[in-house]
């Protein structure tokens, strides 16, 4: 019988009650880095009655999130987040998650994502046209607005300009509540008559009303508008492959006999896509553009690539093939500043990993941090240096273990929006920087806030210069 991972693995011990909890909460990045540096790839520690295992071995990470994914569930904090975002893909578990994932998958099929690219480019052009030479912007704020507009438009189609700001504000309130799930006192705080709780209830009602309105409109229109919502509304679980209802009436009848998502499931999935799909990408874009502002050579290479791609017209998804350096810039930015900086999994049973060298007790929590693994010198020579070129070197890529890089996780709970995010980030950078150069005004290095996502702590001030 496995009793405790802390019996077998090295790790820090609390010097006083609450010591490790305090250290973890006050500086999570520093806390995990110090443990990995001192105790190696596999370590363990306890906080109260909770047992934690920290892994920095790409093969063991693969084992947890891919090979033995069924033996784990999401962390208690993420499960607690159901209170704020409902039972969507991010928070659901087991067979329910599998079914929802299957139903949602067609909305992220490459042909669909290619269809969303027009909205991504249109929204970026709109921002590029509104910018003024010499103006000072908070880059992070601008990227949050841009990705919110993109996700809103790709979810619901183009006709909702009036509602975008209102939805944005309500979503912001919900995201704050989502972050509260990390607080061990969240279940108590959620029940108190706090202004934040009242704001949350209002925001949740606003978002639900808006989403329900769009679902109804979409059902009444009865046509596939090419947006995410259309695919989700029309997805049917036939028990085998998921079908998406076609506009052909015969096909519709067949598919209608299969099981679709209820309005409540649709609503929870849509709120989840909003939450999961906009801040992460905004953070990746902010870090990539900030890194470019600090690296003239990389910026010069990027300009020559984007000036040549699709010259004289708006970029299309087909142009992505001609933007390998821009993609490398995004990849390298997510290596150094992974928007999802940590994955956690709780063991549903006692689990043995790495041919029995690591034992995770039932209810033990495995921590895997992109922040640590992405800066490991064994896989990343000069790990602290921004070098997009490393992504164009196929030999180096082949020599690295797959899970030395996992910005989108992996296995059955991997990011469903990965292709969406790559397309969006590359097209946004290429479209904005066709006309603009961004000069950083923030002091370096960036200060970071690692909450649910890794985001800049302060505004990221940039001076706009027309190219
Ligand atoms: C740079 C941008 C993004 C990053 C770094 C990112 C990262 C991640 C990661 C690491 C996970 C796995 C979490 C875990 O295993 O615990 C995840 C899950 C998820 N992401 Fe993303 N994501 C990004 C963009 C998006 C976008 C654009 C969407 C949707 C439009 C999206 C929707 C989701 C959803 C729904 C899940 C849950 C999937 C499931 O459990 O089945 N993400 N994301």
Place of tokens 């520093």: 30
Q: Taking the chain, what is the end-to-end CA distance rounded to the nearest angstrom?
A: 66
Which of the residue ranges 84-88, 356-360, 406-410 would you say has the lowest mean pLDDT? 84-88
**What's the angle, vertex CA 465, arms to CA 462 and CA 467, rounded to 5?**
135
Q: Which of 406, 417, 452 to mutate to test the pocket of ligand 1 (most atoms within 8 A of CB)?
A: 417
What's the pLDDT tens digit per position in 90-116? 999 999 999 999 989 988 999 899 999
Q: Which residues line ligand 1 (CB under 6 A)?
A: 74, 89-90, 101, 151, 272-273, 276-277, 280-281, 284, 339-340, 343, 407-409, 413, 415-417, 420-421
- Residues 6+ away with beta carbon under 8 Å from 297: none
Of 353, 377, 411, the C-alpha closest to 5 is 353
CA–CA gap between residue 423 and residue 417 (Å, rounded): 10
Q: How many CA atoms lie within 13 A of 458 on its CB side?
A: 11
CA–CA gap between residue 220 and residue 210 (Å, rounded): 15
- 235: helix, coil or strand? strand
Residue 447 DSSP one-character state: P
CA–CA gap between residue 114 and residue 123 (Å, rounded): 15
Are β-strands 365-368 and 50-55 bridged in parallel, bridged antiparallel, or unpaired?
A: parallel
Q: How far is the CA of 147 from the centre of ligand 1 (A)?
A: 14
When pLDDT is averaged across residues 431-438 and rounded to a whole number, the result is: 97
When pLDDT is averaged across residues 151-169 and rounded to a whole number, the result is: 74
In the numeric block, which tokens belong to residue 427? 């097209």
Place of tokens 């912001």: 172
Report all structural domains of the chain as residue ranges with CATH numbers, in order of start: 1-85+342-373 (no CATH), 86-338+374-466 (1.10.630.10)
Ligand 1 atom, smallest distance to 414 CA = 12
* Entry field: residues in the chain: 467
Stronger pLDDT, 7 or 113, i.e. the higher one = 113
Flag whether 415 is marked binding.
yes
What's the pLDDT tens digit per position in 213-265? 888 888 888 888 878 888 888 887 666 555 544 443 333 334 444 677 888 88
């Amino acid at each position: 019988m496995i009793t405790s991972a802390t019996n077998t693995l090295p790790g820090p011990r609390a010097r006083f009650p609450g010591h490790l909890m305090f250290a973890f909460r006050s500086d999570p990045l520093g806390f995990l880095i110090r443990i990995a540096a001192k105790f190696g790839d596999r370590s363990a520690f306890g906080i109260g009655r909770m047992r934690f295992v920290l892994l920095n071995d790409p093969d063991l990470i693969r084992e947890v999130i891919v090979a033995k994914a069924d033996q784990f569930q999401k962390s208690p904090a993420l499960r607690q987040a159901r209170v704020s975002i409902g039972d969507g893909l991010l928070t659901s578990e087991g067979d329910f998650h599998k079914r929802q994932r299957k139903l949602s998958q067609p909305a992220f099929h490459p042909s669909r994502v290619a269809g969303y690219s027009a909205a991504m480019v249109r929204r970026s052009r709109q921002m590029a046209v509104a910018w003024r030479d010499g103006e000072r912007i908070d880059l992070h704020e601008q990227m949050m607005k841009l990705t919110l507009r993109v996700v809103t438009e790709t979810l619901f189609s183009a006709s909702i300009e009036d509602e975008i700001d209102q939805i944005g504000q309500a979503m912001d309130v919900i995201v704050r509540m989502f972050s509260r799930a990390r607080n061990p006192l969240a279940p108590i705080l959620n029940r108190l008559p706090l202004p934040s709780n009242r704001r949350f209830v209002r925001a949740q009602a606003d978002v639900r009303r808006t989403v329900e309105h769009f679902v109804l409109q979409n059902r009444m229109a009865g046509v596939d508008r090419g947006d995410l919502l259309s695919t989700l509304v029309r997805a049917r679980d036939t028990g085998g492959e998921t079908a998406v209802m076609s506009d052909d009436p015969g096909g519709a009848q067949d598919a209608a006999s299969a099981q679709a998502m209820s309005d409540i499931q649709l609503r929870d999935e849509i709120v989840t896509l909003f939450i999961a799909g906009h801040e992460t990408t905004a953070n990746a874009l902010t870090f990539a553009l900030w890194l470019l502002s600090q690296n003239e050579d990389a910026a010069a290479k990027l300009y020559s690539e984007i000036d040549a791609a699709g010259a004289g017209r708006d970029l299309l998804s087909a142009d992505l093939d001609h933007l390998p350096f821009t993609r490398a810039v995004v990849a390298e930015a997510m290596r150094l500043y992974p928007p999802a900086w940590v994955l956690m999994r709780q063991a549903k049973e006692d689990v043995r990993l790495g041919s029995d060298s690591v034992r995770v007790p039932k209810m033990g929590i495995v921590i895997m941090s992109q922040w640590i693994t992405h800066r490991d010198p064994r896989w990343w020579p000069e790990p602290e240096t921004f070098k997009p070129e490393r992504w164009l070197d196929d030999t180096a890529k082949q020599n690295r273990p797959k899970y030395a890089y996992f910005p989108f996780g992996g296995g059955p709970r991997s990011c469903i929006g990965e292709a969406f995010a790559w397309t969006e980030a590359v097209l946004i950078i290429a479209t904005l920087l066709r006309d603009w150069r961004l000069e950083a005004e923030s002091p370096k290095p960036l200060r970071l806030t690692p909450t649910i996502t890794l985001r800049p702590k302060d505004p990221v001030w940039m001076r706009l210069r027309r190219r």
